Amino acid sequence: MNLDFKIKNLLFICLIFLGVFNQYYSQAQYKDCFKTGADRPELYLPLLKDKTIGVVTNQTGLMSDRTHLVDFLVKNNIRIKSIFAPEHGFRGNADAGETVKNGVDAKTGIPIVSLYGNNKKPTPEQLKGLDIVVFDIQDVGVRFYTYISTLTYLMEAGAENGVEIIVLDRPNPHDGYTDGPVLKQKWTSFVGMHEVPVVYGLTIGEYGKMVNGEKWLKNGVQAKYTLIPMLNYHKKQRYTILDKPSPNLPNDKSINLYPSLCFFEGTQVSAGRGTDIPFQVYGSPWTKDLPYQFTPKPNFGAKDPFLNGKLCYGENLSNYPVDLRELNLEWVIKAYKNYKNPNQDFFLKNLWFDTLAGTDELRKQIIAGQSVADIKASWKPGLNSFEMIRTKYIVYED
């Protein structure tokens, strides 16, 4: 009896071990099988063969071996006529809002056409002779991050000029949830072109499908739109980003806090541009009751940062949990309550805060002293309506 009992116990332990091992092994294997759209050339190279193409990309257009998509396409004898550069430029080293200039890529000799500044939408002349434009950019999944606006204008121009758009999909670091106020049409701008919430829970490829499917392009035109999907992507998992999406989003921590801290861009409070940890701190000279101190100074990502050279008092959030799956209003409300400057209002006079929020209601709610819970409750009807649209365009498991 004792021997039988010991054998059964041993068998039971072995089965548990094998189950755990197999589960770990399958998960590891599953993760190893993940591929971005760019890493699935077998799906898109046949579509590009014998075509004249343009490429919209920047420093994030990398394959898993860190080969840039443009270099890979050139090596595979794909005829690239133009590289189109979004905000921050082809190499990703321009400040936010800085004019991106036309030029020539030193490595390949291919002309670079800016899609930022006065030329946000490709002109018929710039698209002349192109059969296809390939779009490959790492987005961050937040409405006021302008790469989705560049995609919208590209699709619109493609539809108007008979040029196909192919999107190579990449992970969204804020995927799998939605949050924030839904943009109201009055507040449409380049940092918010469609009636979607701040966090919209779609990859950039899914977002393009939605814009096309809902006929949100000018005059209801629809582009010939092809999505090269990722392999083994899950919306609630988080994936390593191969290069920083822009100079002031240098790592996962900044990207994680960006939807919450970007609202400070519409206030007299710095979000940390001109520090080593942009979008991980906030503060101003007029919030002296807050514990953390920093002084913005010119650096690679901010040549003339807001509050340049001024001692700021605020909070350091760099140790905040890296997977924040909500838009946190506590920081902007805390800064508002601690702000003491008789000469300047907390909110900028140009109402940039409202432009970022996509509505003037959030600013008015903060001024009125509404609680976070009440403000978030006011977003629910808009989020529920958006969800009915969003679900139609989901390609990957939620």
Write the pLDDT tens digit of every residue in 39-75.
999 999 999 999 999 999 999 999 999 999 999 999 9
The CA–CA distances, whole Å, from 11 to 5, 143, 196, 307 equal 10, 54, 55, 67
How many domains does the chain contain in total? 2
Q: How many CB atoms lie within 10 A of CB 288?
A: 15
Residue 4 confidence (pLDDT) above 70: no
Q: What is the pLDDT of residue 163?
A: 98
Tokens encoding 63: 């394959």
Residue 319 and residue 181 in one domain: no
Q: Which of 206, 241, 276 is the last residue of a domain?
A: 241
What's the rounded Cα separation, in Å, for the pair 301 and 283? 18
Residue 350 and residue 227 in one domain: no
Characterize the bridge pairing of strands 197-199 and 179-182. Answer: antiparallel
Q: Is 283 domain-assigned?
A: yes
Whether 356 and 190 have beta carbons less than 8 Å apart is answered as no
Q: Quick one: average pLDDT of 16-29?
A: 38
DSSP 179: E
Q: Which of 241, 261, 289 is the last residue of a domain?
A: 241
pLDDT in tens, 341-395: 999 999 999 999 999 999 999 999 999 999 999 999 999 999 999 999 999 999 9
pLDDT in tens, 245-299: 998 999 999 999 999 999 999 999 999 999 999 999 999 999 999 999 999 999 9
Residue 134 confidence (pLDDT) above 50: yes
pLDDT in tens, 76-89: 999 999 999 887 66
Residue 151 and residue 285 in one domain: no
- Which range of residues forms the domain containing residue 345? 252-367
Identity at 76, one-letter amino acid code: N
pLDDT bucket at 91, cuts 50 / 70 / 90 = low
Q: Is 107 domain-assigned?
A: yes
Residue 260 and residue 280 in one domain: yes
What's the rounded Cα separation, in Å, for the pair 247 and 262? 14
What's the rounded Cα separation, in Å, for the pair 357 and 300? 28
